[in-house]
Amino acid sequence: MNVVYRMLLRAALRLYPDRFRSRFGGSMDEALGDRLAAADALPLGRRIRAKGRLLADLAVAGLKERASPAYRPPSRGIRAQRGGGLDRLGQDVRFAVRSLGRNPGFTATALATLSLGIGAAVAVFTVVHGVLLRPLPYPDQDGLTMVWSHAVDDPAARGWMSLPNLEDVRDLDVFESAVGWQETSVTYAGTDRPERVRGARVTGSLLEVLGLTLQAGRDIRPQENVPNPPPVVVVGHDFWQTRLGGRTDAVGSTVELSETGYEVVGVAPPGFDFPNDTELWIPYGHNLDGCGRGCTVYQVVARVAPGRTTDDAAGPLASLAADLQDRFPDTNTDVGFRVETLIDSMVGRVETAMWVLMGAVGMVLLIVCANLAGLLLARAQSRRGEVAVRSALGASRPRLLRQVLTESLVLALAGGVLGVLVGALLVRGLGWIAPTSLPRLDEVAMNGMVLAFALGTTGAVALLFGLSPALHLARSSPAEELTRAGRSGNRREGRARSWLIAAEIALSLSLLVGAGLLIRSLQELYRVDLGIQGNDVLRFGISLPYARYDDLEDFDGFFRELEDRIRALPGVTAVGSSFGSPLGGGSLGGSVLIDGRPPPPPGRQNYARVRSATPGYFEAMGLSLVRGRGIEPSDDVAGEPVVVVNETFAAQNFPNEDVLGARVRVTGSFGYAPTQYWRVVGVVGDVRESLTAAPYPAIYPPHAQFGPGFLKVHVRGATSAAVAALLPRIRDEVRRMDPSLPLADVETVGEAIRSDAAPTRFYLFLVGVFATLAVGVAAVGLYGVVAYMVSRRVREFGVRVALGASQPQIAGLVLRQGLVPTAWGLVAGLVLAAVGVRWLESLLFGIQPRDPLVFSAVILLVLAVSAAAILLPAHRSSRVDPTRALRAE
């Protein structure tokens, strides 16, 4: 992106008069370097605004300087009379409208292309603005930062924090406040059907850190983060309105959450749903006994102290990390901390994608401009006679120029208005197809900024496509035009149009390459073997309230019975449950300890995911058993503690020994089961947690021995439709066992897989649409140029045929004329694409950005489309009848 930006800066510098530039250019260049370095150090949102301001100011000041009297050329005697400017503008506009109205075919074509191009640009900009550029709804957002912990050799990781580490970070002088949270969900039973509500367990006053005040009551207090915390809750505005009826006495009232009465102590301001569509905030209730410095359970947001910036935090965090490593080597060896501005942490991962889309739509817009310029050139040529006559009758050249430009401007403005309407429709469409994982999607809306962008784009577009007919006019001589009006074409214009076509082909080719690469990525994504057979599996979460289910036997009893009941339903082929699920998140983890081996030194541990499961889980998810046995119903709390591991775990921890029979455990206490070694009884195949993730070492202890009280239940049916149809019966079974339990996150695993590929599909869809549009427009343009050329040279062809040229020879002539811009376009497009794919790289999966298959396919496609666009008119040219052609002139 920076390369492009620097090019823009250089272009803006060229707007200054030469004299000014030769005097101050070097110094300005140097100051710009300093200014850019300062801007690059800013957090994302401010960085983009600062650079935008810098560029706009540079361009505007350059134009003003150029317009200043000091650089105006000396007057050449008679000057166009001053005054009456508005009058003349009105005249020009009226003239333009009339002249466009006389040619409805041309006008409709131009408006359609323009409104599509501007509409697409406006729609994409609306999304980019809402996601990237718009400030967060928190005061002084630059002071807000996420604090992550990371392994020293993985400095970009976004690791969570433990409470003691969080408290040490918070106590640093550079921070004013910090708070940790963990997302959760609770059952709200206040309405007729129990429902799951998204909540967050916080370590303190989240709203205060973010700089917001509650609309009623108070925030959660840090001193409430203790074991067995007071049952208090801050509710969101929407929750207050819909569930509590917006009662003014809501604060102080009691709501029942997961069968515990909570006192409502505060109501958050409207629109506040941090961190993630959250509606309730409750104290975490941290118990340091079970979860100390090594127990990383929080994401942390902090506010830097007044007068400090997020950059100032790096030093103190580094010394804190070093200090903690000395004092707590077991937990803090090679652990670093880093900050990332809140906005970056929210949208940083989609930034490239957004700019890629913006670039793609910009290319479409350029193609549209090139095409319109071509159309206008052709039109200008056919109006040469008219212009010559008006010129002969005394219209001055500036006046004629202004008229031509006014016409372009009128066209562009109409296109811009239509474009905004098209854009509004497209934004709505984008809202439907955008992946839900796109951050800040709810903040995407058209607003003043978007309209300003639309206006700016329209102006730029008018300038770009209006320039070519204006230049054409500036170069022509009326006398010459009058003598040859209506006769054969002008070589220079033919060349200009050929160049425009070449540019269009080049741009479409690069867009096609982008679309092709995304198609291949999607193919590769769909080809990924997740290690499960999930298409016909329905899953949902069940969370048992601790108030009534409080030990392993309760948990086990409930899920065993539920699975038996579901298994008895017709059409169900397998049922099994697990703690968390692939593509569904949720799992615990820790570092691996092996019985009989010394604990690995700090920094050398292997980690493993812990996913407790019921006996039917492997069958329900289609995991293959590689060796040994799976989990049996007899593996209960009275039996020997056992565990099934995956292949990656076995390979990583037992490269040269037999894993079966070994005794393993992971560090950390999870609160449900005693800390103990488990005997490995089986090995299952690897499972990927997402389409792009590598398999991770995992162990599966029996749920009956490990817990917890919240599981994902997986139900396999004969087909996905059959299993989805079972849902009401499943709900009935759950209700029969416990009427207060809601089903959370109901989906088929197939849906989850599809939504994991949704971002790639979304980008592909947009780039694909742009590419198709681009190729279509370019093909029509190429056809137009060749057809026009043929029509202008009918007479010449007639003469040639009369002198004995064969029809293939004539067709060859035409072909050559069309092939030259195509060839240039191909070459330029290939270079452009080869350079441009660099920006696309992070959106690709499983292929090289310079994938030869994509490049060759695109070249063939462009050649085929061009050949079709050339051959049609070429074919016509070969049927010229010499006698008729000569008579026509």
Partner 1 sequence: MNRDADPHLPLTAADFHILLVLGGGPLYGYAILKAVARESGGSVAPEIGSLYRTLGKLVTRGLVEEAAAPTGVDPGPHPGKERRYFQLTELGRSAVKADARRQEAAVELARQRDLLPEPPGP
Which spans of this chain sit near partner 1 (rule: CB under 8 A)?
A: 12, 20, 23-24, 26-35, 37, 53-54, 57-62, 64-65, 70
Q: What is the DSSP string of 45-96?
A: HHHHHHHHHHHHHHHHHHHHHHHSGGGSPPP-SS-PPPS-HHHHHHHHHHHH
Contact by Cβ (8 Å): 285, 182? no
Closer CB to partner 1, residue 9 or residue 356? 9
Is the Cβ–Cβ distance between 300 and 146 less than 8 Å? yes
Q: CB-wise, 69 or 655, nearer to partner 1? A: 69
Which residue type is seen at 610? V
Give the whole-angstrom CA distance, residue 223 versus residue 210. Answer: 18
Using the minimum distance from each CB to partner 1, give the nearer residue, 37 or 156: 37
Angstrom distance (rounded) from CA 698 to CA 610? 6
Q: Least distance to partner 1 from the beta carbon of 361, Å? A: 27
Query: What long-range pairs does 436-442 form, CB within 8 A, spacing at least 24?
Result: 436/755, 436/758, 437/755, 437/758, 437/759, 438/131, 438/350, 438/759, 438/762, 439/131, 439/346, 439/347, 439/350, 440/130, 440/131, 440/134, 440/346, 440/347, 441/130, 441/131
Structure tokens at 104: 């409805």
Q: How far is the CB of 20 from partner 1 (least distance, A)?
A: 6
The CA distance from 471 to 459, in Å, is 18
Q: 209 is written with which tokens?
A: 């850190």
Minimum distance from residue 55 beta carbon to partner 1 (Å) = 9
Starting from the edge strand earliest in sequence, which strands make up the sheet with 572-578, in order? Answer: 572-578, 710-717, 537-543, 744-748
**What is the smallest separation between the CB atom of 31 and partner 1, expressed in angstroms?**
3
CB of 59 to partner 1, least distance (A): 7
| Rounded CA separation 561/382 (Å) | 84
Q: Could you give the dihedral angle defined by the CA atoms of residues 732, 736, 740 and 744, in that order, rounded to the nearest 10 degrees?
A: -40
Nearest CB to partner 1, comparing residues 38 and 860: 38
Cβ 3 to partner 1 shortest distance, Å: 17
CA neighbor of 506 nearest in space, from 668, 336, 709, 370: 370
Residues with Cβ within 8 Å of 401's Cβ and at least 6 positions away in sequence, in order, are 470, 473, 474
Q: 142 vs 619, which CB is nearer to partner 1? A: 142
Nearer to partner 1, 13 or 363 (CB): 13
Residue 519 dihedral angles phi and psi, to the nearest 5°: -60, -45
Distance between CA 469 and CA 467 in Å, rounded? 6
Quote the CA–CA distance of 295 and 305 in Å, as a whole number: 27
Q: What six digits make up the tokens of 770?
A: 């742009």
- Collapse the DSSP code of 523 into the 3-class scheme (helix H, G, I; strand E, B; otherwise coil) and give the result: helix
Residue 95 near residue 339, CB atoms below 8 Å? no
338 forms beta bridges with 148
Nearer to partner 1, 30 or 154 (CB): 30
Start-to-end Cα distance in the chain: 54
DSSP letter for each residue of 832-855:
HHHHHHHHHGGG--SS-TT-HHHH
Nearer to partner 1, 8 or 626 (CB): 8
| Half-sphere exposure (Cβ direction) of 819: Cα atoms closer than 13 Å | 10
For partner 1, the closer CB: 28 or 722: 28
Q: Which residue's CB is nearer to partner 1, number 54 or number 305? A: 54
Query: Quick one: 12 or 691, whose CB is closer to partner 1?
Result: 12
The residue (of 22 and 856) whose beta carbon lies closer to partner 1 is 22
Q: How far apart are CA 604 and CA 753, in angstroms?
A: 34
- Taking the complex as a whole, the smallest distance from the CB of residue 137 to partner 1 amounts, in Å, to 24
**Least separation, in Å, of the C-beta of 22 and partner 1?**
12
Residue 30 or residue 564: which is nearer to partner 1 going by CB? 30
Closest approach of Cβ 141 to partner 1, in Å? 18
C-beta closer to partner 1: residue 36 or 746:
36
Q: For partner 1, which is the closer residue by CB, 15 or 847?
A: 15
H-run or E-run covering 744: strand 744-748
Residue 423 CA to residue 429 CA, distance in Å, equals 10
Identity (one letter) of the amino acid at 288?
Answer: L
Between residues 69 and 486, which has the closer beta carbon with respect to partner 1? 69
**Residue in the block written with tokens 């803006």:** 12
